[in-house]
């Protein structure tokens, strides 16, 4: 690897922003210095910001690329490359690719397993040197399903499973406490009639009653076996959070109420909210708005969820809301790194990975002007 020197930059450190230069050697940050540099070969950043590469813990973007339309299965190698390139282009240098485990083979809204085969293809592309950024797996363990245990048994410690989230989409609770909103969502997506929707709800209730507690326990055990961080999803009440704490959960994805977010902080659980929620000003499911949690000091981490570019945009929205750029950048860099147990990235600090993003601002909007992953320019 060639040495890289980025000079004349506004460098966003954990507690402050300094004017200076940053040097990367052999893929890691070697030096951060204030002032100018006269070293030959330095690249002039013209006063732009340098921030750590963004870290994405929960994104459905790979699933979107492999199925760009309902019932369309896109060639997976091409989809993986497009997903990887898209994330690099918006400043994401580490991603935990979300894949569902736990399927329902029969019924009107049936869905089949896919995670094992897709993960194998992802790791084949990585082994071939085809990927620009760092990838880990985030297995979304659907407890209200039929096949969760056997699907999770197909993964092991070598699969880079960094996060396992406990997903419970039983109607009438968590994300869709209002079954009317669930009905509108499912009928719009699946084209179900009223009787078909009623049958679908009944099927999910039966699966939860038959398998839910067992699946939840097995998912917790599997996360321990993989060495993965355990996450909750859509906690709504303090009771939900207390149960999460009993499982050893360290990360709460998208709590739906202020009550749940407050309880998470009381239990030392980091709160992650969706960047689209922050940008749009509220949740599309009618749950708590991300800016409400930010105002109360209950927002720790942002996730792009279903819009990769939203991660950068939302961080700068938070910077303006809090009037604190380092604190806001930490929600998409240092805080997700800490929650995922990654001690080698997430800050601009000597010894850490050379994951760096150059940012300009045009009419307040962040513009990505350069992306380096392990010191190699990828965007």
Residue found by looking up tokens 């601009």 in the block: 348
Residue found by looking up tokens 């355990």 in the block: 230
CA 162 to CA 226: how far, in whole Å? 8
Under CATH, which number does the domain 1-52+345-379 receive? 2.30.40.10
Is the pLDDT at 110 greater than 70? The verdict is no
CA 243 to CA 345: how far, in whole Å? 30
Reported as a pLDDT band with limits 50, 70 and 90, residue 45 is: very high
pLDDT digits (tens, 9 = 90+) for 214-231: 899 999 999 999 999 999
Reported as a pLDDT band with limits 50, 70 and 90, residue 70 is: confident
Is the pLDDT at 16 greater than 90? The verdict is yes
- Give the count of alpha carbons within 13 A of 224, CB side only: 9
Alpha carbon 99 to chain centroid, angstroms: 12
Say which range, 2-16, 103-117, 186-200, 285-299, has the weakest mean pLDDT: 186-200
* One fold for 1-52+345-379 and 54-344: no
Residue found by looking up tokens 């599309």 in the block: 284
- Name the CATH superfamily, with its identifier, for domain 54-344: Metal-dependent hydrolases (3.20.20.140)
Is the pLDDT at 206 greater than 60? The verdict is yes
Give me the residue spans of the domains in the chain: 1-52+345-379, 54-344
pLDDT digits (tens, 9 = 90+) for 144-177: 888 999 999 999 989 999 999 998 866 656 666 6
- Is 348:50 a contact under the CB 8 Å cutoff? yes
3-state secondary structure of 309: coil
Output the CA angle 253-74-222, nearest 5 degrees. Answer: 40
pLDDT at 349: 98
Say which range, 181-190, 244-253, 343-352, has the weakest mean pLDDT: 181-190
pLDDT at 108: 59
């Amino acid at each position: 690897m060639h040495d890289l020197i980025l000079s004349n930059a506004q460098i966003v450190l954990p507690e402050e922003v300094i004017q200076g230069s940053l040097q990367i050697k052999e893929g890691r940050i070697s030096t951060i210095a204030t002032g100018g540099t006269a070293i030959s070969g330095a690249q002039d950043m013209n006063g732009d910001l340098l921030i750590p590469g963004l870290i994405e813990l929960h994104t459905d973007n790979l699933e979107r690329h492999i199925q760009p339309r309902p019932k369309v299965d896109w060639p997976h190698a091409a989809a993986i490359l497009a997903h990887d390139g898209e994330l690099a282009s918006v400043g994401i240098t580490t991603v935990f690719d979300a894949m569902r485990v736990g399927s329902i083979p029969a019924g009107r809204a049936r869905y089949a397993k896919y995670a094992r085969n897709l993960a194998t293809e992802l790791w084949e592309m990585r082994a071939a040197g085809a990927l620009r950024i760092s990838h880990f797996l985030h297995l979304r363990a659907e407890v209200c399903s039929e096949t969760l245990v056997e699907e999770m048994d197909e993964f092991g410690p070598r699969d880079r499973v960094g996060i396992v989230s406990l997903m419970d989409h039983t109607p009438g609770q968590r994300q869709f406490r209002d079954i009317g909103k669930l009905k509108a969502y499912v009928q719009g997506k699946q084209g179900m009639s009223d009787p078909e929707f009623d049958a679908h709800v009944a099927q999910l209730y039966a699966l939860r009653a038959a398998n839910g507690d067992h699946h939840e326990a097995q998912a917790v055990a599997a996360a321990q076996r993989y060495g993965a961080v355990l996450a909750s999803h859509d906690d709504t009440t303090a009771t939900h959070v207390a149960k999460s704490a009993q499982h050893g959960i360290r990360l709460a994805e998208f709590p739906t109420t202020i009550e749940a977010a407050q309880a998470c902080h009381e239990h030392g659980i980091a709160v992650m909210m969706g960047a689209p929620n922050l940008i749009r000003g509220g949740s599309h499911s009618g749950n708590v708005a991300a800016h409400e949690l930010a105002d109360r000091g209950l927002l720790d981490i942002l996730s792009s969820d279903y819009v990769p570019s939203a991660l950068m945009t939302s961080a700068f929205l938070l910077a303006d809301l809090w009037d604190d750029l380092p604190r806001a950048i930490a929600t998409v860099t240092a805080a997700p790194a800490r929650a995922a147990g990654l001690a080698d990235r997430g800050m601009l600090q000597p010894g850490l990975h050379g994951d760096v993003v150059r940012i300009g601002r045009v009419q307040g909007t962040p513009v990505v002007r350069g992306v380096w992953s392990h010191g190699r320019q990828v965007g």
